Amino acid sequence: MFVEGHHELAKLSFLDVIVIAVYFAMVIWIGFYLKQKANTSEEFFMAGREMTAWIAGLSFVSANLGSLELMGWAGSAYQYGILAAHWYWIGAIPAMLFLGLVMMPFYYVSKTHSVPGYLKLRFGEPSRVLAAVSFGFMTILMSGVNMFAMAVVMKVVLGWDITFSILMSSLAVAVYVTLGGLRSAIFNEVLQFVLIWGGALLVPILGLIEAGGWTKLQANILANYHGLDYTHMWRGLAHFSTNPMGVHWTGIVFGLGFVISFGYWTTDFLVVQRVLAADSLRSAQMAPIIAAAFKMAVPFIVILPGLLGLVILHNPDGTLMHLVGENAVSAANPHSYNEVLPLMLVRYCGPGLLGLGITALIAGFMSGMAGNVSAFSAVWTYDIYQPLINKKATDKHYVAVGRWATILGVVVSIGTAYLVMHAQGIMDYVQALFSFFIAPLLGTILLGMFWKRATGAGGFWGLLAGTATSISLYVWVKLDPAALSVVAFSPDAKDMAENLYRALWSWVICVLVTIVVSYMGKARPESELNGLVYGATVLPNEAPVPLIKNHWFWASIVIVVFFVLNLMFF
């Protein structure tokens, strides 16, 4: 992942060390403080279902903002230009609004503890176990990838030993999540969200000042990278070969904007768990809308630094610095795409501010990891341990199992981090995981929620067929790279396009199999579907609220801003 003998980019001053130490002291303090409020399973796994919309919303977006997200997408912006912002806008906003406005009532009213738990209610035990095992597997792998990404940053930026970084940060996460459960994870995620902004926002502000503003930045990128369009989101997407990402607009709209985005934001329990902890249905519906508003702003601290790196970063001899892929790092090009954010940080931040920036990266890692292990703990306890191993234990016993599952999740994640150390192309691996498990799950959940005729057998076999399709396509392209032109419909398609179209394929297969198998069986009576399926559910009437508190009003504002942003950077 990095060159032997690589010299660190910066050295921490005493002040930086104090800034980092204060952060660790704070998160541990929060864990110990909240231990007294995590005695029952409802408190430990669901944070007592008493989070306000703001806290649930910020936690919702923060759990997704791991170090991999910060580093990876800043690197992708350097590599692919502003196209990377699609993962923040069309790849997130419509799905987050859909979750809040349409899907949340079913999750919330069914009082499920998890997304696999909803599948149990709708399709039965086999679907629940399949989804729970897939989710547990994916969560631990993601946690390990996230952990490794953070350790590499610390190695590159500060010269810290990888094992030291992994143990220090994961130990802190293990302590505060084991003690305080989901409430502690959520509390810390809100804190970490504020810190990420406080530590990272200075970079684009100073970067834009140095670059002379957005218009001058665009002109300089065009001058430095002749003809390649790095600053428009849609213009180059008419053909696979006319944009740096090698993708077509159909892949962005249907693969990313629909399957991957809706799959992740509406069915991945890592994020949905935060909203299920809300104190009322109205808060649960409002939380994803608040999160969407903040999510739209994240490109400012992630994508913009990547674009600024294209013109601002220079070698000591004054020539333009060229960052390269991890596999192409050499003495001539010592830095990879993934280092663009740390490079920008070191460029502008002296003592104190550097510590704050590093703390932001550590906070990003910890929020991502805490999200993974708290979700893993809940799914393991409710959807694997309780139904398959010990059905009739006391509530106290399940809380203890949840605490041990948290520790187990951290330990296995550490093992996974060392495993991915020897793997090439982390982002490719992460996207592949999404298409394996998340894309087919979307098909199952959507049909379950909106089609009364879907049966238990249909749900199970559809989910299994979708997952198997995705894994098979991945293996096919690995064994025969020429297969990419079939999977992604073009010989010009690149890796990212393959991920998008593979997800689309697996979703289509899941939906088709679910429909066919459902028609072969007998549907459940409508009376059994109350609280689970659209059209068969009586939603609770909520008292009318002023416009300023109405979730449809705020969702309308978010969607208008979303369209304006896409038009501005068209």
Partner 1 sequence: MHGSGISIWFFIGVLLAIYGFLICGYGIYELVTGHVANVALANLHAPVWWGAVMLALGAFYCLRFNPRRN
Minimum gap (Å) between residue 483 Cβ and partner 1: 47
Residue 564 has a CB neighbour count (10 Å cut-off) of 10
Lookup: tokens for 216: 């001058």
CA-nearest of 568, 567, 565 to 92 is 565
Check residue 341 for interaction with partner 1 (CB under 8 A): no
Residues 373-432 interacting with partner 1 (rule: CB under 8 A): none
Tell me how far CA of residue 225 lies from CA of 81, 220, 311, 333, 341, in angstroms. 11, 8, 10, 17, 20
Check residue 209 for interaction with partner 1 (CB under 8 A): yes
Residue 313 has a CB neighbour count (10 Å cut-off) of 18
Which residues is 393 bridged to in the sheet? none
The one segment of 46-54, 253-261, 441-449, 524-532 that binds partner 1 by CB under 8 A: 46-54
Minimum gap (Å) between residue 353 Cβ and partner 1: 6
Lookup: tokens for 483: 């297969």
Check residue 106 for interaction with partner 1 (CB under 8 A): no
Among 159, 325, 334, 351, binds partner 1 (CB under 8 A): 351
Q: Are the C-beta atoms of residues 303 and 73 closer than 8 Å to each other?
A: yes
Give the DSSP letter of residue 521. S
Query: Which CB atom, from 323 or from 343, has the smaller least distance to partner 1?
Result: 343
Minimum gap (Å) between residue 348 Cβ and partner 1: 6
Check residue 561 for interaction with partner 1 (CB under 8 A): no
Reduce the DSSP state of residue 536 to 3 states and report it: coil
Among 106, 348, 437, 474, binds partner 1 (CB under 8 A): 348
Minimum gap (Å) between residue 317 Cβ and partner 1: 17
Among 1, 46, 51, 417, binds partner 1 (CB under 8 A): 51
Check residue 63 for interaction with partner 1 (CB under 8 A): no
Check residue 18 for interaction with partner 1 (CB under 8 A): yes
Check residue 350 for interaction with partner 1 (CB under 8 A): yes
Buried b (16+ CB within 10 A) or exposed e, 385-410: bbbeeeeeeeeeebbebbbebbebbb
Lookup: tokens for 169: 């940060």
Q: Are the C-beta atoms of residues 75 and 205 closer than 8 Å to each other?
A: no
Tell me how far CA of residue 335 lies from CA of 7, 324, 376, in angstroms. 11, 7, 34
Query: Which CB atom, from 122 or from 347, has the smaller least distance to partner 1?
Result: 347
Query: Which CB atom, from 181 or from 246, has the smaller least distance to partner 1?
Result: 181
Among 3, 26, 228, 407, binds partner 1 (CB under 8 A): 26
Query: Which CB atom, from 30 or from 97, has the smaller least distance to partner 1?
Result: 30
Minimum gap (Å) between residue 337 Cβ and partner 1: 21
Check residue 557 for interaction with partner 1 (CB under 8 A): no
Query: Which CB atom, from 210 or from 395, has the smaller least distance to partner 1?
Result: 210
Reduce the DSSP state of residue 90 to 3 states and report it: coil
Minimum gap (Å) between residue 354 Cβ and partner 1: 9
The alpha carbon of residue 349 and the mean position of all alpha carbons in its chain are separated, in whole angstroms, by 27
Check residue 210 for interaction with partner 1 (CB under 8 A): yes
Reduce the DSSP state of residue 234 to 3 states and report it: coil
Give the DSSP letter of residue 114. S
Minimum gap (Å) between residue 544 Cβ and partner 1: 24
Query: Which CB atom, from 344 or from 426, has the smaller least distance to partner 1?
Result: 344
Helices (H) and strands (E) in the chain, counts: 24, 0
- What radius of gyration, in Å, describes the C-alpha atoms of the chain? 23
User: What is the contact surface with partner 1 in residues (CB under 8 A)?
Assistant: 15, 18-19, 22-23, 26, 29-30, 33, 37, 50-52, 55, 187, 190-191, 194-195, 198, 202, 206, 209-210, 346-353, 356
